[in-house]
Amino acid sequence: MMSLCYEFNGNDKRQLECAKYNINIKTKLLNPNHPQIAKAYIRLARAFAKLEMLAQSNLSNIGYRINESLIQSGEYYRIIEAYQRTLFTLYNLSLNKSHLAEAYLTSEITKASTIHQSQYYYSSVKYLGISEDLITEEAILKKELSFLQSKKIELVKNNANQTEIHKVQNKLFNKHKSYDSLISHLEQNYPEYYNLKYNFDVLSIEEVQQKLKSNEALIEYFNGNDQTYVFTITKDTATFQAMPLVKYDRIEKLRNTLTNSALKNPSQAYMDYSKAAYQLFKEILATPLKNIDTTKINTLRIIPDGLLGLIPFETLLTQPVHKQAEDYRSLPYLFKKFNISYGYSATSMFKFNEHKKSVSSAQVLAFAPSELTPSVKTADLAPLKSNLQEVFHLNNYFDHHNLTGEEATETAFKEKIKDYPIAHLAMHAIIDDEDPMYSKLLFAPSKDTLEDGMLHTFELYNMRLNTQMVVLSACNTGSGKLQKGEGVIAYAGSPSVVMSHWAVDDKSTAELMKHFYKHLSNGHPKDVALRNAKLDFLKNAPPIYHHPYYWNNFVVMGDPAPVASEWYGWKIVVALRTAMFFAMILAISNRHKMIKY
């Protein structure tokens, strides 16, 4: 029967059923890692892919391919997962690095497609500088191509005569020429629109390795329905492994121990957190860390997926905790061993770094509103009593412009942000879990009737930010809808974002940010500055603030490179002049000694 199964070339659904039947039989008869199982998975993935091609050709009203993938997200992702499963099986059996390379590209493309979709959907055409006529022409050509492709498939399936098929093929060829010509025109004349919609170039493993430093490792996760694939890449090595899928209750348990009050039963809260943090470390990070030399690697770049984007890995514990006495300060946190930063994909993390504009100094535009727009005042949004102190700490480290109280309006932000490489927003945020693009930052009320005091995420996409870094020291800026490959709220045009994973205590945030900017001003990379800030906070804070709720909520997303700082440059000049001065004194002193002798 199996020999007959694949003779049904004209019936794709039949092929799919045969592939599934083939796998079920062979799984029962053979070891799951047997080569025949791998071959069966290949057939299944091909059958899925063929069905997907047919499905796409029938979506004549869908304008753009990535939109299709999200509309059909369940089926699309099942195809990708089947393909990854196949590649993993083949790689395990053969250790052929081409399967590893293909699996990694698949992971990056899947993540990139989701990010591009969000950016394109929320970016107004007028901000991309392209005319409505070209948009209309593009849509018509796509619709015609889709119609002709469907017609060709139908003719072939119905064994139509060759003359009819050639006619349609010729029309299809001419339409493709017109379409390619239009795309070429868009690429040359409207590069931002083209890149946003069509440029899905992603980095290969070799390209990632070229960009990694010798002390860095990149760990990228790709979640399937029943297991997680993880890629661990260093300057010289790359591995591809599968782990059991982390269940939501594991993530929720850790988050609850981090965000719920520990005052009622401190001892139990301490043990609950210690167990949850170590258990999750074993499940998601112990395996990839075995592939790196931790005596040489001190920096992790993490690309989470799905639920893993809901937690800061810094909160994980690398060893079990046995003693009952509460001592949060001495716990074996992951961040004590590694500098950590995150990205939505390796491609976005590194390519943002390539295209960022260099600036001669790091001026900070800081906002600290004291009142909320009346329409959003709720019992859940307590007054921010320490945000003024937070932005005033910047005075000691960076050239800055503070807008506080009633001056901290949405209008002022939109007018001034283009002139500053760093934005610091010490304000409340409201997260929309159904659609993160409608999450909003809450500015001070404004007399300007054009603005409502609420800056939505999708508005940021249209503002053409030129910032090096945005610091969102607001409540809960790092969570959002769990969409495959999307992760947490996307940063809108800024290569780096520092943000919080849960609602924060603004007094401890002010103290943490003081240390963060101190280390930034000394020329440290952002991930190093944040790590050192947390260590400083733990060292100096009273015991009641040692719980990680107060200080371990902030993460660095995107490019962790240092920011330019006039203060830092000035310190270098002063240090050099001081060294030269003492060198001169020493030289004169030595001359006097020589004269005496």
User: What are 463-486's pLDDT values in tens digits?
Assistant: 666 788 889 886 655 554 433 333
Q: Do residue 361 and residue 463 come from a single domain?
A: yes
| pLDDT of res. 81 | 84
Residue in this structure with the two tokens 């069966």, named with its chain if needed: 40
Nearest Cα neighbor of 455 from 439, 467, 441 is 441
Give me the mean pLDDT over the 20-46 stretch.
50
Domain boundary among 197, 215, 244: 197
Evaluate if residue 495 carries a pLDDT over 90: no
Higher pLDDT, 485 or 101: 101
Residue in this structure with the two tokens 């920096």, named with its chain if needed: 299
Distance from chain centroid for Cα 370: 31
Burial (Cβ within 10 Å: 0-12, 13-18, ≥19) of residue 477: buried
DSSP symbol at 475? T
533 within some domain: yes
| pLDDT of res. 293 | 94
513: domain CATH number?
3.40.50.1460
| pLDDT of res. 131 | 77
Region of residue 7 (phi > 0: left; psi between -120 and 50: alpha; otherwise: beta): alpha
264: domain CATH number?
3.30.420
Nearest Cα neighbor of 121 from 71, 190, 171, 167 is 71
Contact assessment for residue 239 and residue 232, using Cβ atoms and an 8 Å cutoff: yes
Using CA atoms, how far apart are residues 154 and 147, in angstroms rounded to an integer?
11
- Three-state secondary structure call for residue 65: helix
Evaluate if residue 151 carries a pLDDT over 70: yes
583 within some domain: no
Residues 6+ apart with CB under 8 A from 156: 165
CB-based contacts of 477-480 (< 8 A; 24+ apart in sequence): 477/429, 477/431, 478/502, 478/555, 478/557, 479/310, 479/431, 479/433, 480/431, 480/432, 480/433, 480/436, 480/439
585 within some domain: no
Evaluate if residue 582 carries a pLDDT over 50: no
Q: Do residue 191 and residue 323 come from a single domain?
A: no
226 within some domain: yes
Q: Which residues of 65-96 are buried (b: 16+ CB within 10 A; e: fewer)?
A: ebebbbebeeebbebbbbbbbbbbbbbeeeee
Nearest Cα neighbor of 530 from 566, 501, 560, 559 is 560
Q: Do residue 187 and residue 222 come from a single domain?
A: no
Using CA atoms, how far apart are residues 257 and 548, in angstroms rounded to an integer?
10
Domain boundary among 176, 197, 218: 197
Contact assessment for residue 416 and residue 365, using Cβ atoms and an 8 Å cutoff: yes
Give me the mean pLDDT over the 268-281 stretch.
94
Q: Do residue 270 and residue 333 come from a single domain?
A: yes
Give me the mean pLDDT over the 374-394 stretch.
71
Q: Do residue 42 and residue 163 come from a single domain?
A: yes
Using CA atoms, how far apart are residues 488 and 344, in angstroms rounded to an integer?
8
| pLDDT of res. 15 | 53
Using CA atoms, how far apart are residues 1 and 362, in angstroms rounded to an integer?
70
Q: Domain range holding 274?
A: 205-342
513 within some domain: yes
596 within some domain: no
571 within some domain: no
Q: How high is the mean pLDDT of the chain?
A: 76
- Which amino acid belongs to residue 4? L
Using CA atoms, how far apart are residues 500 and 387, in angstroms rounded to an integer?
15
Burial (Cβ within 10 Å: 0-12, 13-18, ≥19) of residue 344: buried
Tell me the percentage of the chain whose pLDDT exceeds 90. Answer: 29
Q: Do residue 376 and residue 309 come from a single domain?
A: no
Total structural domains within the chain:
3
Q: Do residue 160 and residue 18 come from a single domain?
A: yes
pLDDT tens for residues 174-224?
988 898 898 888 878 887 777 766 666 789 999 999 999 999 999 999 998
Q: Do residue 271 and residue 396 come from a single domain?
A: no
Evaluate if residue 118 carries a pLDDT over 70: no
Domain boundary among 197, 221, 254: 197
Q: Do residue 31 and residue 158 come from a single domain?
A: yes
Residue 490's pLDDT band (cuts 50, 70, 90): very low
Q: Do residue 180 and residue 318 come from a single domain?
A: no
Q: Do residue 193 and residue 209 come from a single domain?
A: no
Q: Do residue 397 and residue 528 come from a single domain?
A: yes
Higher pLDDT, 454 or 531: 531
| pLDDT of res. 144 | 86
pLDDT tens for residues 53-92?
433 433 333 333 444 434 344 566 777 888 888 889 888 8
- Which amino acid belongs to residue 523? G
515 within some domain: yes
